[in-house]
Amino acid sequence: ATATKSAYELQTLTTWLLDLEKKAVIDNELAAVISSIATACKQIGSLVNRAGISNLTGLAGQENVQGEDQKKLDVISNEVFGNCLRSSGRTGVIASEEEDLPVAVEETFSGEYVVVFDPLDGSSNIDAGISVGSIFGIYEPSPECSIEDMDDPEEMMKKCVLNVCQAGNELLCAGYTLYSSATILVLTVGQGVYGFTFDPLIGEFILSHPNIRIPDKGKIYSFNEGNYQLWTEEQKAYIDSLKHPEKWGGKPYSSRYIGSLVGDFHRTLLYGGIYGYPGDSKNTNGKLRLLYECAPMSMIAEQAGGKGSTGFKRVLDIVPEAVHQRVPLFVGSPWEVDYLESVLQGKPAP
Ligand code: P6P
* Distance from residue 120's CA to the centre of ligand 1 (Å): 12
- Whether residue 106 has pLDDT greater than 70: yes
C-alpha distance across the termini of the chain, in Å: 56
Q: What is the mean pLDDT of residues 228-250?
A: 93
- In the chain, % of residues over pLDDT 70: 90
Answer yes or no: are the C-beta atoms of 73 and 21 closer than 8 Å.
Answer: no
Q: CA distances (Å), 163 to each of 123, 124, 197, 318, in order?
A: 27, 30, 32, 15
* Distance from residue 60's CA to the centre of ligand 1 (Å): 31
State the pLDDT at residue 157.
86
State the pLDDT at residue 60.
35
* Distance from residue 50's CA to the centre of ligand 1 (Å): 22
**Beta strand residue intervals within the chain, DSSP E:** 91-96, 103-104, 113-121, 132-139, 173-179, 183-188, 193-199, 204-209, 220-222, 254-255, 274-277, 307-309, 329-332
Q: Which of 321, 190, 336 lies closest to 273, judged by CA?
A: 336
The whole-angstrom distance between residue 330's C-alpha and the CA centroid of its chain comes to 14
Helix (H, G, I), strand (E, B) or coil at 324: coil
Q: CA–CA separation, 57 vs 75, rounded Å?
A: 17
Task: Please count the other Cβ atoms lying within 10 Å of the Cβ belonging to residue 169.
Answer: 15
Q: What is the DSSP string of 84-141?
A: HHHHHT-EEEEEETT-SS-EE-TT-SS--EEEEEEEEETGGGGGGT--EEEEEEEEPP
Q: Is the CB of 125 under 6 A from ligand 1?
A: no
* Distance from residue 121's CA to the centre of ligand 1 (Å): 8
State the pLDDT at residue 348.
66
* Distance from residue 332's CA to the centre of ligand 1 (Å): 17
Q: What is the mean pLDDT of residues 103-131?
A: 86
As a 3-state breakdown, the chain gives helix, strand, coil percent values, each rounded to 5, of 40, 20, 40
- The overall average pLDDT reported for the chain is 89
Strand order in the sheet with 132-139: 103-104, 91-96, 113-121, 132-139, 173-179, 183-188, 193-199, 204-209
Helix (H, G, I), strand (E, B) or coil at 326: strand
Q: Is the CB of 122 under 6 A from ligand 1?
A: yes
ipTM of the modeled complex: 0.98
Instruction: Identify the weakest region by mean pLDDT among 156-160, 200-204, 208-212.
Output: 156-160
pLDDT tens column, 286-331? 999 999 999 999 999 999 999 999 999 999 999 999 999 999 999 9
Count the residues in the chain. 350
* Distance from residue 350's CA to the centre of ligand 1 (Å): 30
State the pLDDT at residue 158.
86
Q: Is the CB of 121 under 6 A from ligand 1?
A: yes
Q: Is the CB of 124 under 6 A from ligand 1?
A: yes
Nearest CA to ligand 1 atom 9: 261
Q: Is the CB of 118 under 6 A from ligand 1?
A: no
Nearest CA to ligand 1 atom 16: 259
State the pLDDT at residue 322.
94
Q: Is the CB of 131 under 6 A from ligand 1?
A: no
Q: Can you list the pairs that 284-288 forms with residues at least 24 positions away whose Cβ atoms lie under 8 Å?
A: 285/325, 285/326, 285/327, 285/328, 286/326, 286/327, 286/328, 286/329, 287/326, 288/261, 288/326, 288/327, 288/328, 288/329
The residue ranking higher by pLDDT, 156 or 116, is 116
Q: What is the DSSP string of 334-348?
A: HHHHHHHHHHHTTPP
Q: What is the mean pLDDT of residues 67-71?
A: 41
- In the chain, % of residues over pLDDT 90: 71
pLDDT interval class at 55 (50, 70, 90): low
Q: Which atom of ligand 1 is nearest the CA belonging to 264? A: 9
pLDDT tens column, 164-186? 999 999 999 999 999 999 999 99
State the pLDDT at residue 211.
97
- Whether residue 339 has pLDDT greater than 70: yes
Strand order in the sheet with 307-309: 254-255, 220-222, 274-277, 329-332, 307-309
State the pLDDT at residue 3.
61
The residue ranking higher by pLDDT, 4 or 63, is 4
* Distance from residue 318's CA to the centre of ligand 1 (Å): 21
Nearest CA to ligand 1 atom 3: 122
Helix (H, G, I), strand (E, B) or coil at 174: strand
Q: What is the mean pLDDT of residues 102-131?
A: 86
pLDDT interval class at 278 (50, 70, 90): very high
Q: Which atom of ligand 1 is nearest the CA belonging to 288? A: 5
pLDDT tens column, 205-235? 999 999 999 999 999 999 999 999 999 999 9
Nearest CA to ligand 1 atom 12: 259
Q: CA–CA separation, 15 vs 34, rounded Å?
A: 13
For a mutational test of ligand 1's pocket, the pick from 121, 221, 282, i.e. the residue with the most ligand atoms closer than 8 A to its C-beta, is: 121
* Distance from residue 221's CA to the centre of ligand 1 (Å): 15
Phi and psi based region of residue 210 (left: phi greater than 0; alpha: psi -120 to 50; beta: remaining): beta
**Whole-prediction pTM value?**
0.92
Q: Is the CB of 261 under 6 A from ligand 1?
A: yes
Nearest CA to ligand 1 atom 2: 122
State the pLDDT at residue 234.
95
State the pLDDT at residue 313.
97
